[in-house]
């Protein structure tokens, strides 16, 4: 954006300012400076423009420093809150991870118990089938022997 000339009125004086800021922004700033100078002229009973300008500059600088301090404090607070939130998130993740691990171990334990129970059941059925096979083999052998005797 190029520089442009903006005419402003501050404390009954007109100034032509060359700036790259927008006209709207320059007019707002000038209005604030004018307002401050008018207030100081009334409260300090000053008539000299140069002294009013210095007081206004001092007031604006003090306000700016105060705001910078608040900004730094807010940034520090936000950073602290961010650190605290990160810690809480890590703690929550660790707790969830531990809970998940416990649930997995419990599920694995149940699966192991079911596997053992099924294995025992299968062994019992195999034993029953083996006994049945032995009975059938004995019967077959008797029948075969009876057939041979005839």
Quick check: 47 pLDDT over 70?
A: yes
State the pLDDT confidence band at 1, using cuts at 50, 70 and 90.
Answer: low
The pLDDT of 65-73, averaged and rounded, is 98
Q: Report DSSP letters for 34-99, one per residue.
A: HHHHHHHHHHHT---HHHHHHHHHHHHHHHHHHHHHHHHHHHHHHHHHHHHHHHHHHHHHHHHHHH
Q: What is the pLDDT of residue 98?
A: 97
Quick check: 138 pLDDT over 70?
A: yes
Q: What is the pLDDT of residues 70-86, one digit of tens each?
A: 999 999 999 999 999 99
**pTM exceeding the 0.75 threshold for the entire prediction:** no
């Amino acid at each position: 954006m190029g520089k442009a000339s903006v005419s402003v009125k501050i404390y009954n004086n007109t100034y032509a300012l060359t700036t790259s800021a927008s006209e709207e922004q320059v007019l707002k700033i000038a209005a604030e400076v004018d307002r401050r100078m008018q207030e100081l002229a009334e409260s300090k009973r000053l008539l000299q423009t140069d002294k009013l300008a210095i007081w206004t500059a001092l007031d604006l600088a003090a306000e700016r420093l105060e705001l910078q301090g608040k900004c730094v404090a807010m940034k520090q607070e936000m950073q602290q809150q961010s650190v605290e939130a990160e810690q809480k998130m890590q703690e929550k993740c660790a707790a969830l991870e531990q809970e998940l691990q416990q649930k997995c171990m419990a599920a694995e334990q149940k699966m192991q118990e079911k596997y053992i129970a099924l294995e025992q059941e299968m062994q019992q059925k195999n034993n029953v089938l083996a006994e049945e096979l032995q009975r059938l083999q004995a019967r077959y052998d008797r029948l075969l022997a009876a057939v041979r005797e005839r």
